[in-house]
Amino acid sequence: MTDTTTPTPPPVLVMIDRVTLDDPPLAPGETGWRVVPADEPQIDVADLGLTRGDGIFEGLGVVGGAVQALEPHLRRLARSAAMLDLPALDLDVIRSACLEGARRHGSDAPLLQKLVVTRGIEGGDGRPTAWVRTEVLPDHDAERRDGIAVVTLDRGYRHDVAETSPWLLQGAKTLSYAVNKAVLREAARRGADDVVFVSSDGYALEGPSASLVLRLGDAFVTPRTDQGILPGTTQAALFEILTELGHAVSEELVPIGQLSSADALWLVSSGRQIAPITTLDGAAVPVDAALTAQLVEALEARRR
Amino acid sequence: MTDTTTPTPPPVLVMIDRVTLDDPPLAPGETGWRVVPADEPQIDVADLGLTRGDGIFEGLGVVGGAVQALEPHLRRLARSAAMLDLPALDLDVIRSACLEGARRHGSDAPLLQKLVVTRGIEGGDGRPTAWVRTEVLPDHDAERRDGIAVVTLDRGYRHDVAETSPWLLQGAKTLSYAVNKAVLREAARRGADDVVFVSSDGYALEGPSASLVLRLGDAFVTPRTDQGILPGTTQAALFEILTELGHAVSEELVPIGQLSSADALWLVSSGRQIAPITTLDGAAVPVDAALTAQLVEALEARRR
């Protein structure tokens, strides 16, 4: 079969120079960021983001040239920065760098942006390192349509650990995601595609890179974010859509047992947007294909 | 006052090209590593070590040109690699890169080497990125002599979590160390210099970058490593020294309460080597200055 598809456009990399409000103000005409070659090394081996996973990130979807949920992502980035005692960020420069990345890439295909802020060079001048990299999003159509097999794995912490032990940074979106990748390898060993973290005291929490949404009768529920989990930007957009459709939505404590009695389960995130869970720990989960297709379409149609 | 000290020699950076045994074997004359400028960016922004803290590291001391405990560090690196499902490492090339870094630096001052292996570029060829960076060790004389104030902080996990939930990677020395840095900021807020992690079920574990050693009467004790903590290379060397001096040493479960009845406490690590704990959560801890000085000297005198 001849491959008639066009080649994937290369990533676009925007390094952000004015990352924090402590930096000197921009001179007239300065942007605070610069577009650099994405295929050349840009990072020092002594960067604390690299040597200590000491930094924060966001993953943003771009559809039809529009960065989705940009303001909620920027707010969450600022929240993570505060949890890590990073300096206050210049969100205006960061916003403008994200918009420039999407504009420069110019592809019609759905894109993914990774926005990163690290604590900067160890022993350096204390200035964070930051960039936004924009690339074509991998195709997730099959998972959205056919669903995903999910296993529950213990996060190891109690559900209230963010309140008792804030130094564990639960609920901050940090670069220290080795565990979030390790659980995916454990899921693969169990024949599954993805994971729902559960607390050591029996509550369902979130995926390693997605929010969990349950349908319980007519109500749509997501686990409460005071359990050291992320406020989901795509989950928030989904709840707006569901509300417009006339459904009840709420944030709750979700005991693990409630998962097996749910009328449907989804994982929602900025890249894949929404995928129905078809099996949980090997047991079949009801799937509402028509509703899922409707939600996929509504999430993709967002222009902000 | 005129500064008559010589300027600090710059770091030496050795990038390691043949990181795993899966790579093509070395041709005659090839080393598998190359010395590169330490002040130029070497790392791609899409490296998983950076975007996910998905990698491992070791910190090695160099005294009088000799890399201390090189073989134990290499063994521990291989152990961390296995825990993260990384390919089997070519320890011969990695060893040789470490030795070259120490040789090239050539300074008489004590040095610190940071040896890093990441999972490589996301969406790339699956080959890890690796390097060893050698620099002059910051001066820790005051902490060795005058001691450090330490607070206990909850690690959030039970002491047996490495056995029940291996996907949490407790006991692997990963790049996902944002929490290990956050606890130091929490310690500073409490007026302290360093931290001893305790398990959620009441056992003393380790520091964020050091092993804990207790003196209980005539016995020297360190917490057992089956609690998801690192086997300390400097702690192992210290126990060899203590054994030669005729002291009893052992690995135990250490209930938190035992800390306050200890006859002395130390944190030991490759950089600072050994520092006596003078206060724990604000309460004075007995210090044996003469023994500590003897142990500092013995640890520094190691030539392997």
Residue B282's Cβ-count burial label (10 Å; 0-12, 13-18, 19+) is: exposed
pLDDT of residue B268: 98
Across B169-199, b (16+ Cβ under 10 Å) vs e yields: bbbbbbbbbbbbbbbbebbeeeebbbbbbbb
Give the closest of A47, A53, A168 to B176, CB-based. A53
A144, A274 Cβ separation under 8 angstroms: yes
DSSP B277: E
Instruction: Give residue B74's pLDDT band: very low, low, confident or very high (50, 70, 90).
Output: very high
Instruction: Give residue A1's pLDDT band: very low, low, confident or very high (50, 70, 90).
Output: very low
Give the closest of B41, B51, B57 to A175, CB-based. B51
Which chain A residue is nearest to residue B52, measuring alpha carbons? A177
List of chain B residues whose C-beta atoms are within 8 Å of the C-beta of residue A201: none
Instruction: Give residue B207's pLDDT band: very low, low, confident or very high (50, 70, 90).
Output: very high
pLDDT of residue B304: 75
pLDDT of residue B3: 52
% chain B with pLDDT above 90 = 95
pLDDT of residue A58: 98
Is the pLDDT score of A12 beyond 70? yes
Q: Are the folds of B12-136 and B141-300 the same?
A: no
List of chain B residues whose C-beta atoms are within 8 Å of the C-beta of residue A166: 186
List of chain A residues whose C-beta atoms are within 8 Å of the C-beta of residue B41: 40-44
Q: What is the mean predicted confidence (pLDDT) over B125-137?
A: 96
Q: Could B169 and A186 be called an inter-chain contact, meaning their C-beta atoms sit closer than 8 Å? A: no
Residues B12-136, CATH architecture: 2-Layer Sandwich (3.30)
Nearest Cα neighbor of A300 from A262, A256, A268 is A268
Give the closest of A51, A55, A172 to B57, CB-based. A51
Q: Could B45 and A49 be called an inter-chain contact, meaning their C-beta atoms sit closer than 8 Å? A: no
Q: pLDDT digit string (tens) for B151-162?
A: 999 999 999 999
Q: Could B200 and A154 be called an inter-chain contact, meaning their C-beta atoms sit closer than 8 Å? A: no
Q: At A188, is the secondary structure helix, strand, or coil?
A: helix
Q: pLDDT digit string (tens) for A74-119?
A: 999 999 999 999 999 999 999 999 999 999 998 989 999 999 999 9
pLDDT of residue B156: 97
Full-model pTM: 0.96
Average pLDDT, chain A: 96
A226, A233 Cβ separation under 8 angstroms: no
Which chain A residue is nearest to residue B120, measuring alpha carbons? A50
Q: What is the mean predicted confidence (pLDDT) over A21-37?
A: 96
Q: pLDDT digit string (tens) for A236-279?
A: 999 999 999 999 999 999 999 999 999 999 999 999 999 999 99
pLDDT of residue A4: 55
Q: Could A116 and B53 be called an inter-chain contact, meaning their C-beta atoms sit closer than 8 Å? A: no
Nearest Cα neighbor of A194 from A211, A213, A208, A173 is A208
Q: What is the mean predicted confidence (pLDDT) over B136-159?
A: 96
Q: Could A85 and B185 be called an inter-chain contact, meaning their C-beta atoms sit closer than 8 Å? A: yes
Instruction: Give residue B1's pLDDT band: very low, low, confident or very high (50, 70, 90).
Output: very low
Domain boundaries, chain B: 12-136, 141-300
Q: What's the complex ipTM? A: 0.96
List of chain A residues whose C-beta atoms are within 8 Å of the C-beta of residue B155: 168
Instruction: Give residue A5's pLDDT band: very low, low, confident or very high (50, 70, 90).
Output: low
Is the pLDDT score of B5 beyond 70? no
Across B85-95, b (16+ Cβ under 10 Å) vs e yields: ebbebbeebbb
Q: Could A47 and B51 be called an inter-chain contact, meaning their C-beta atoms sit closer than 8 Å? A: no
Give the closest of B44, B167, B181 to A186, CB-based. B167
C-alpha distance from B48 to closest chain A C-alpha (Å): 9
How many Cβ atoms from other residues are within 10 Å of residue B237's Cβ? Answer: 22
List of chain B residues whose C-beta atoms are within 8 Å of the C-beta of residue A174: 53, 178
Is the pLDDT score of A304 beyond 80? no
Give the closest of B54, B157, B166 to A157, CB-based. B157
Q: Could A41 and B41 be called an inter-chain contact, meaning their C-beta atoms sit closer than 8 Å? A: yes
Place of tokens 């930096």: A23
Instruction: Give residue B2's pLDDT band: very low, low, confident or very high (50, 70, 90).
Output: very low
Instruction: Give residue A3's pLDDT band: very low, low, confident or very high (50, 70, 90).
Output: low
Q: What CATH class has B141-300?
A: alpha beta
Is the pLDDT score of B259 beyond 70? yes
The set of residues, in sequence order, having a beta carbon less than 8 Å from that of A152 and lying 6+ positions away, is A195, A196, A197, A198, A204, A256, A259, A280, A281
Q: Could A55 and B178 be called an inter-chain contact, meaning their C-beta atoms sit closer than 8 Å? A: yes
Instruction: Give residue A65's pLDDT band: very low, low, confident or very high (50, 70, 90).
Output: very high
Q: Could A200 and B48 be called an inter-chain contact, meaning their C-beta atoms sit closer than 8 Å? A: no
List of chain A residues whose C-beta atoms are within 8 Å of the C-beta of residue B131: 45
Average pLDDT, chain B: 96
**What phi and psi values does residue A280 have, to the nearest 5 degrees?**
-125, 115
Which chain B residue is nearest to residue A179, measuring alpha carbons? B168
